[in-house]
Structure 1
Amino acid sequence: MTSPHSWPPVSWLPLSWLSRSWWESRDPQLSAVRRAARVTLVACLGFYFCRYALSSPAMAPYALFGTIALGMLSQIPGNARQRARTLLAVLPVTWVLITLGTLLSVSNWAAAAGMFVLGFAVTFAGVGGPRLVGLATGMQLLYILPCFPPYDPGVLPERIAGVSLAVVLLAVAEVVLWPGPQPVPYRERLADAVDALAGCLAAIADHWDGDPRGKERLAALLPDATEAGDALRPSRLPVTQRPASAGRRDRALSSASATTRLVLGRAVDLYFADDRDAVSLPAAARLLRETASCASAAGAWLRGQGEVPDTDRIAGALARFRAEREAGDPTGVAPERLRLGSLALSLGEWTKSLVTELRIVARAPLRADVQGPYWYASRPAPSLWWHRLRENLTPRSVYFQGALRLAAALAVARLLAGELDLSHGFWVLLTILTVLRTSAAETRSALRPALTGTVIGSLAAAVLLVYGTDPTLYAIALPLVMFIGNAAGPLLGQGWAQALFTLVITLVFAQLAPTDWHLAEARVLDVAVGALVGVLIGLFAWPRGGSGELHRATANFLGASAGVVRETVATLSSMTPPGTALPLAREQERLAEASYALYQSERHAVARLDWQATLIAGKHAVRGAEALLRDCPTGRLLPCAALLTLATTDVAGRFEATAQAIRSREVPRTPDDPAPDLGWPTDLGRDLYHLADLRVWLDGLRDDLTRVTGRPEHQGPVPVPLA
């Protein structure tokens, strides 16, 4: 099978197009075809109405390219009505961009400076989430179009009218023309995973209550539960469907997803746990059954079938379990007999976190003691957006890097196009938007099909213009060529898209003014200049893209997590005051997640490690530390401080070794040596329960690191933009 980014041989196409499997593999629900037809109809309708009914050559191209900018170059998330509302909401922004482009075209330097500022601002705004990321390229095109000579502010009303017509028609078309099947909502995916988790926990509770079939049911449920958890992976979702915005709802959904996957991992641990002679087994079974019930209620609410889950239930169950556990003195009990109760307690605490996160999604009141990871729960939306922008306004942020490199490339290209007096110079900048990717390797891979397609399309256009054709035939051919060109990118690859888009441009400009074969020549020259600028900027400005920054940011996060482990144990065992480890780890976590989000948007081969499992290991360190510091008394474990220091050194050392391997771009080695056998004391009274809780956390962290290389993620192709 040919890669979507390659140029398939002509002999391969006819028979393959007749194959149903070919269509299903590339466009299973005909989404690309529907979108291509919708955009083609709106673009041609707006163009013909402005050009022939209103006789306005200034308005017509803005009606057509405005549709392409927001209909093809933009990836707007949501269902049809949500996409329509987004289009209407950004209409005033399109007016501002066209006005600035028109006014700044007074000089090359003014236009280039405006291109740099707006290019950076529009791209960097993508830190706010997929809705803004999807609009970035289209918004940039709406400034690029008017920022070239001739400087003519008098046509500004016509330009704005053309784009307004395009946006309104496109918004209507999104709702009434072939809207297509609705994507599976993220909440439904999360509900599947939470329901699977509830089933697993209920099966474990049955087993602990003496049902001999409980463990068999758990074994049968785990594969589907694992698949439901994996369905929440960002790599399994389109960019526009990931909960990645700066708002509290998406923050809470993303956190709930990570919590669900973590609890599913702990459920697997319980399958292998030895429950013989476990202390507090009946109380643990009751806690786990209540935990399963709360998870089931959370899944029902996610499907819209119940009330918002309440943390009081799970909090009450946790309090009762602690009280029942504290009623017995574990002095003299072997430490391993206390482990199962601590595992059940950790599952209850994580489920309480899950319910809290869903209450944030629902905007329901929270308990007064909710702090730490849920700092955003009561913050207003503008504050959260400003916080996201501010924390990424650093050269270490992948969003900052990407915005700066694209802004620099667009500004340089605009300046060169003006100084070289290139006709139709906006093609230079349009090529930048197509070719320049987040890494130098991706930019090089996009270069060959872009240039090849442009040359082939330009030759076909030159032949068409040399031999001449009745303008009426241009108008007839435009919808067909545009439809095929719009569909060619997602289905056939960038080479085909570039070739057909070149023909589209020829057919458009041939209807606006007399032209000849030099138009095709200008297209090739402009694309070559844009490709050269894109390649050079891509080589010198953060050439590794998201992959390079992901290695560094993840290594920093794991290193900070090691510090959290050391500081938490020191605080609990010897009353050492908490330091800055937790705040630092939270900051590094946010940067690592941003790097991972960008990495997911790039095209990669099979990754050498499971990035999501790596981030979850760090999250477990941070969230677990917060729970232990909140619920365990400090200074009560001083008699075993030396043993805890040895255990902590082992776990933190593994985190640091994994971080160093990732920083060096090596595959972390899974340690073969087991946890140190330290001979834990049995004479601490009820403090043995807290020691067991702490040990379960440390053992879980050690186990998390074994999964870093367990399931590398395959990255699928990135959708091919049309330019």
Structure 2
Amino acid sequence: MWGWVRRRDPQLVVVRRAVRVTVVACVGFYFCRYVLGDAAMAPYALFGVVALGALSQIPGSPRQRSRTLIAVLPVGWVLVTLGTLLSFSTVAAAAGMFVLGFAVSFAGVGGPRLVGLAAGMQLLYILPCFPPYDPGSLPSRLAGLTLAVVLLAVAERVLWPDPAPPPYRRRLADAVSLLAECLGALADDRSRLPALLPEATEAADALRPSRLPPTERPASAGRRDRALSSAAGTARLLLGRAVDLYFTDDREAVTGAAATKLLRVTAGCVAATGDWLRGDGPLPDTDLVAAAISDFRAARLNTDPNGLPPERLRLGALALSMGEWTKSLVVAVRVAAGETPKHPDPTPASARPGQFWYAYERTPFLWWHRLRENLTPRSVAFQGALRLAAALAVARLIAGALDLSHGFWVLLTILTVLRASAAETRSALRPALVGTVAGSVVAALLLLLGLDPVVYVIALPVVMIAGFAAGPLLGLGWSQALFTLVITLVFAQFTPVDWRLAEQRVADVLVGAAIGVLIGLFAWPRGGAGELRRAVATFLTSAAAVVRETVAVMAEGQPPGDALPRARGAGQLAEASFALYQSERHPPAPLDWQAALVAGHHAVRGAEALVRSCPSGGLLPCVAQLTELAGEVAASYERSAGSLTRGKSPPRPADGPVQQWPDDLGQDLYIIADLRVWLDGLRADLTNVTGRPEPADNLRDRVSRVADGAT
């Protein structure tokens, strides 16, 4: 038995939590019920621990979780107080449930810490919003909750604490250090890259949100998480472009020596970044890589490209783009360290917010901005919060209208079974109902035996440990069955109960399940899958506008418009939809959603670097060729977006137009090479969207799975 548990829970995280929550809940409950004799305080001492210890998933180390619990205690006081005061009326309680249910759930857009707390915080309002209306008991209720939170915060630190998860910064350090080795190989010995790439690819892949538990993703609204996420995306992008450079012929490349020097400095800066992330070195500075970029540009200025074919300029263009992205990587890490960029935001005012706009803003504004940008029906966070709030409010109205004696079970069932899509809700419904019925039958038999109350006192902690561990280890059905027994054992210690308590539990669960299913059918029933198609299509359409606008700025000198800010916002909503989609169960997808997001992010990140680093205008002699090439790439993006909107797989992009490029424009030929490298890369990105990714056998395909700029 113990071996089976260790196989499913190697670090005993589930078992530790079950024991910790049970001990704290029982100590608080027994102390209030039997030592203080306060029947109003006891349930809040117990359910406060259940809400924040079992229903909540708080990320971080034991110290961080302890601090989080103390920080949310005032919010818990507010929820219990409002629930108590609004319980005088079914309508008032339901209205409060809708408003607070939406607010608590929607606040999860602020990051995984708030997402993990949402379900538990909902329970803190649900419990007191039912009759009896007893404002006089409010001090006892708040005291019980306070006792629960304080005991739980202490237990997180001293009672069999969980092992601290590896910090995201450590994962990023590993990926960045391995990337530095790959860049060093490109500069000094290309033949080493194939041997280095598998481990570097795996480390980069480990940074993907889909490879991380939701509680460990750097997804909060603050500067640090935004910067770490940006650094991860830049590192993956650099790895992909390193492979592009590996396949670029360097034997006749112009400015090849200068490009090698730039790559060598780039590798050193990336290595220093990895050292700092690991805690082994000083915070890196952008001055070194900025100086190397300037030296490379000077070398290009001193090398006349007239008469040279475009292929001989490609390697330098790739090396320059890698230098620019390395500078972005260092800036992101410095922002994560709490540093404000040395120079004002270089993004033109018309194109703001720029890539690092958040580095110049205060934390309260960043949180408000995150809430505001998701306050739209097109946000999956908004949809999920509204769906849950509506279900809980309707359940509260029905429970009040039917005068259900334990109506909070109806709402608790909704928290348990309601999922992001109707299909997911239905899949959770059967085990929840079977488990509840089975637990109720056992509870009824237990109550029919008329056991001594001491038996309930002794049995409660044993059943609680099994119940809290059963969900993650055995599934929802076992969890519901054992939780039904827990509730029975708790209520049996308050008032005389009989077998009808189990009958009421089944009836309440059936009502809650029916409400959850109906709301799930009418409110965005497709969940993340339906919204993902629309969000990714919008993102690709926005990326097409970025492509056209960037070439217009570079070739014709037009002022930057709002294409970049719009695409950044569309990308954030698409990423949120993809994150929800990954949390659901789906059949094998006919296309690679990650590759579609990669294509959009590459357009945005590449345009940012070009607009920032290259002069605008001045390419009029070849504006027709550039506009045609950009139009073809942008049209491929728009065709892909249109196919997604119609529910079809995007077509593969056509080959680029055969064009005659001038070779007598002097230094402007280098800018043309930079633009062509970017546009050719975007077309290659779109080819990865169609069809499910298969195991790759070559360097380029292996890295294409992870080398994205997504944040």
Length-normalised TM-score, structure 1: 0.93
Structure 2 gaps, min length 5 = 348-353, 696-711
1:341 match: 316
Give 1:608 shift: 4.0
Give 1:606 shift: 4.3
User: Which segment drifts farther, 536-545 or 614-623?
Assistant: 614-623
State the secondary structure of the residue aligned to 2:359.
Answer: coil
Contact 2:340–2:359 under 8 Å retained in 1: no
Match of 2:639 among 646, 657, 669: 657
Match of 1:265 among 211, 224, 240: 240
User: Which segment drifts farther, 610-619 or 63-72?
Assistant: 610-619
How is 1:156-167 mapped onto 2 (pairs within 5 angstroms)?
156-167=138-149
Contact 1:609–1:713 under 8 Å retained in 2: no
How is 1:273-284 mapped onto 2 (pairs within 5 angstroms)?
273-284=248-259
1:347-390 CA-to-partner distances (Å, cap 9, x unmatched) read 01111111111111012231314341111102111011111111
User: Which segment drifts farther, 50-59 or 492-501?
Assistant: 50-59
Kindly indicate whether residue 294 of structure 2 is the aligned counterpart of residue 319 of structure 1.
Answer: yes
1:429-454 CA-to-partner distances (Å, cap 9, x unmatched) read 00010111111111111100011100
Alpha-carbon spacing, 1:712–1:71, altered in 2? closer, same or farther (3 Å): farther
Q: Which amino acid aligns with 1:594?
A: A
2:216 match: 241
Aligned pair count reads 688
Q: Which amino acid aligns with 1:170?
A: L
2:421 match: 439
Kindly indicate whether residue 667 of structure 2 is the aligned counterpart of residue 696 of structure 1.
Answer: no
Partners of 1:221 and 1:660 lie apart in 2 by: 39
How is 1:8-23 mapped onto 2 (pairs within 5 angstroms)?
17=1, 20=3, 22-23=4-5
Q: Which amino acid aligns with 1:70?
A: L
Contact 1:247–1:381 under 8 Å retained in 2: yes
Partners of 1:235 and 1:612 lie apart in 2 by: 10
Contact 2:210–2:579 under 8 Å retained in 1: no
1:5 match: none
Kindly indicate whether residue 275 of structure 2 is the aligned counterpart of residue 300 of structure 1.
Answer: yes
Kindly indicate whether residue 23 of structure 2 is the aligned counterpart of residue 41 of structure 1.
Answer: yes
Partners of 1:634 and 1:297 lie apart in 2 by: 33
Partners of 2:208 and 2:688 lie apart in 1 by: 15
Give 1:549 shift: 1.3
Kindly indicate whether residue 649 of structure 2 is the aligned counterpart of residue 674 of structure 1.
Answer: no
Alpha-carbon spacing, 1:467–1:52, altered in 2? closer, same or farther (3 Å): same
Match of 1:525 among 501, 507, 515: 507
1:536-556 CA-to-partner distances (Å, cap 9, x unmatched) read 000000111122112211110
Partners of 1:490 and 1:417 lie apart in 2 by: 29
Partners of 1:186 and 1:50 lie apart in 2 by: 41
Kindly indicate whether residue 109 of structure 2 is the aligned counterpart of residue 109 of structure 1.
Answer: no
Give 1:614 shift: 2.4
1:131-159 CA-to-partner distances (Å, cap 9, x unmatched) read 11111110010000011011111111111
Contact 2:590–2:691 under 8 Å retained in 1: no
1:646 match: 628
Contact 2:340–2:360 under 8 Å retained in 1: no
Contact 2:379–2:573 under 8 Å retained in 1: yes
Give 1:609 shift: 3.6
2:351 match: none
Give 1:395 shift: 1.1
Contact 1:582–1:622 under 8 Å retained in 2: yes
Kindly indicate whether residue 302 of structure 2 is the aligned counterpart of residue 330 of structure 1.
Answer: no
2:706 match: none
1:507 match: 489
Kindly indicate whether residue 444 of structure 2 is the aligned counterpart of residue 469 of structure 1.
Answer: no
Partners of 1:482 and 1:252 lie apart in 2 by: 41
How is 1:84-483 mapped onto 2 (pairs within 5 angstroms)?
84-206=66-188, 214-370=189-345, 371=347, 372-483=354-465
1:489-544 CA-to-partner distances (Å, cap 9, x unmatched) read 00000000000000010111001110000100000000000000000000000111
Kindly indicate whether residue 565 of structure 2 is the aligned counterpart of residue 583 of structure 1.
Answer: yes
State the secondary structure of the residue aligned to 2:493.
Answer: helix
Give 1:635 shift: 2.3
2:350 match: none
Length-normalised TM-score, structure 2: 0.95
Alpha-carbon spacing, 1:235–1:338, altered in 2? closer, same or farther (3 Å): same
Q: Which amino acid aligns with 1:677?
A: V
Give 1:711 shift: 6.3
1:258-292 CA-to-partner distances (Å, cap 9, x unmatched) read 11111111111122111120101100000000000
Alpha-carbon spacing, 1:476–1:709, altered in 2? closer, same or farther (3 Å): farther
State the secondary structure of the residue aligned to 1:373.
Answer: coil
State the secondary structure of the residue aligned to 2:343.
Answer: coil
1:320-371 CA-to-partner distances (Å, cap 9, x unmatched) read 0000111011100011000000000010111111111111101223131434
State the secondary structure of the residue aligned to 1:90.
Answer: helix
Give 1:605 shift: 4.4
Q: Which amino acid aligns with 1:706?
A: T
Contact 2:414–2:516 under 8 Å retained in 1: yes
Partners of 2:63 and 2:505 lie apart in 1 by: 37
Contact 2:289–2:327 under 8 Å retained in 1: yes
1:585-626 CA-to-partner distances (Å, cap 9, x unmatched) read 122122212222333333444444443332232122112112
Partners of 1:600 and 1:190 lie apart in 2 by: 22
Contact 1:458–1:499 under 8 Å retained in 2: yes
Contact 2:170–2:277 under 8 Å retained in 1: yes
Q: Provide the aligned C-alpha RMSD in A.
A: 1.6
Partners of 2:57 and 2:324 lie apart in 1 by: 38
Give 1:649 shift: 2.1
Give 1:164 shift: 0.8
Q: Which amino acid aligns with 1:76?
A: I
Partners of 2:691 and 2:67 lie apart in 1 by: 42
Give 1:472 shift: 0.5
Q: Which amino acid aligns with 2:239?
A: L
State the secondary structure of the residue aligned to 2:524.
Answer: coil
Q: Which amino acid aligns with 2:332?
A: E
Partners of 1:572 and 1:422 lie apart in 2 by: 68
Give 1:24 shift: 4.7
Partners of 2:556 and 2:176 lie apart in 1 by: 38
2:698 match: none
Give 1:709 shift: 4.7
Contact 1:95–1:160 under 8 Å retained in 2: yes
Partners of 2:277 and 2:694 lie apart in 1 by: 27
Partners of 1:690 and 1:114 lie apart in 2 by: 59
Alpha-carbon spacing, 1:373–1:661, altered in 2? closer, same or farther (3 Å): same
Q: Which amino acid aligns with 1:584?
A: R
1:719 match: none
Structure 1 gaps, min length 5 = 1-16, 207-213, 715-723
Partners of 1:486 and 1:37 lie apart in 2 by: 8
Contact 1:611–1:712 under 8 Å retained in 2: no
Partners of 1:221 and 1:588 lie apart in 2 by: 35
Give 1:570 shift: 1.7
State the secondary structure of the residue aligned to 1:147.
Answer: coil
Q: Which amino acid aligns with 1:696?
A: V
Kindly indicate whether residue 62 of structure 2 is the aligned counterpart of residue 80 of structure 1.
Answer: yes
Contact 2:177–2:271 under 8 Å retained in 1: yes
